[in-house]
Amino acid sequence: MSSDVPTAWQSMKSSSKPDRAKAYLKLYNGLQMIGWISACIITLVAIWTGQSIWDLAGFTVQVCQAAAFLEVIHAATGIVRGSPATAFLQWFGRSNVLFGILLYTPEVQQDLGVTLIFVAWSLAEAVRYPWYLSMLLGTPSEWLTWLRYSCFIPLYPLGITGEALVTVKALPHIQRRSVHSTHLPNRANFAFDYYWFCLIGVSTIMPAAFVTLYLYMLRQRRKRLHPRPEAKRD
């Protein structure tokens, strides 16, 4: 799922950050900005030239998404305000599709779903990280803020559709090869079926999470872009 959702960064107040933490956050967001803009450009070039999006942009997207785990650590250590659990769940949802499914089911790496995912993710992050960086620098522009709270409107549905397509088409391959699954009997006396994990996720958790987060972001958009005038005081 697109990470253009409420995260620890949204409660960030750059003016209160210690100098070292603030410098680190600038570096982190700057590098992520460069990485995701690069992924976006590579993805668009692949579409334009008819080449494999996974083959051209897959590595860049994987590096950027792996690095995003640092945002969980940021929340856990208090560098930014927010819930580490929420940050982890947001990171895990996307990472499961990328590292858990796509890396282990090459049969779906050239699917339309990958195109939708890479377009949605890279465009969203190519806006999100510059906005975070501008917040740290204290110079958020109106147009960048508008993009930050508007791009998710088409990109959320695009991304979730791609993730669902990839997951559904990968399910037969996951089941056939028992990808990431552990069956009894074993020494740990523990069983886990990744096929059912993905099936339950795509059929129940993913739609519910999408609706909840999408409605939340719509409310946040109204608050940010169309704030209510303060009531007049006597």
Would you please indicate which residues are annotated as catalytic (active-site) residues?
156, 163
CA of residue 206 relative to chain centroid, distance: 13
CA distance from start to end of the chain: 47
Two tokens at 131?
């906005």
The answer to whether the CB of 1 falls within 8 A of the CB of 207 is no
Separation between Cα atoms, residue 230 and residue 227, nearest integer Å: 9
